[in-house]
Amino acid sequence: MRGTTEEKVLIAAAAQFAKAKSVPLTKMSWALAAVMNMPENNVLHRLREASESIQADQSLEGLRKQLKDEAESDVLVSEDLEKKLGEIVMVEVLSVRTYGAICKVDGTTRTLLMHLSEVADAFIDDIGDYVAVGDRFPALLIVNAKGQLGLSVRRIGSLKKKTDVEKQYADFYAEKQNL
């Protein structure tokens, strides 16, 4: 989880509250976005990350300790990934956006963007034709134009366009994951 320690504790506490009281994370993100002066989608993303790693009955002290441990491990993981720049890693697609795919790098807690332009050599009208949530494939660790760590499949061989049957299955799988 990114941000200051205060932001992390607030996000984690909100995620814990939402889990304990069965409050939708979207409602929590609406409230927190105003308090934290952040875009709602950023807050929602952080809440989802936090809700995966905490228990509803966890004490506040246990929560702080967990956040401290995660911060230490994130530093190690970031350094490890930057050392692997130019290497091929296995990734799993967590979400598909119009501008690219958010992928989790295997063996780490990091998520990286694979920009639309790094998927295939061909013009891509809809990235959903190439990737879907849950897809796993090898990707190259790169530094993008903004100087950030990113992923590329195009540089090691393009992904193939999915058939209509594969797309229907991917859509069905994504719906099941959201239930």
CATH of the domain at 143: 2.40.50.140
Q: Mark whether 20 and 100 lie in a shared domain.
A: no
CA quadruple 18, 23, 24, 29: dihedral sign:
negative
- Confidence (pLDDT) at 164: 60
Q: Give the strands of the sheet with 136-143, arranged side by side.
A: 111-115, 100-105, 88-97, 136-143, 149-152
The answer to whether residue 82 sits within a structural domain is no
Q: How far apart are CA 8 and CA 45, in angstroms?
A: 12
Q: Which residues of the chain have pLDDT under 70?
A: 1-5, 53-64, 66-80, 164-174, 176-179
Domain that holds residue 135: 88-178
**Cβ-count burial of 77 within 10 angstroms (0-12 exposed, 13-18 middle, 19+ buried)?**
middle
- Confidence (pLDDT) at 90: 92
Q: Mark whether 170 and 126 lie in a shared domain.
A: yes
Q: Mark whether 20 and 42 lie in a shared domain.
A: yes
The answer to whether residue 83 sits within a structural domain is no
- Confidence (pLDDT) at 59: 64
- Confidence (pLDDT) at 153: 92
- Confidence (pLDDT) at 140: 92
Q: Mark whether 132 and 156 lie in a shared domain.
A: yes
Taking a C-beta distance cutoff of 8 angstroms, is the pair 47, 11 a contact? yes
Last residue of a domain, one of 21, 40, 74: 74
The answer to whether residue 81 sits within a structural domain is no
Last residue of a domain, one of 20, 44, 74: 74
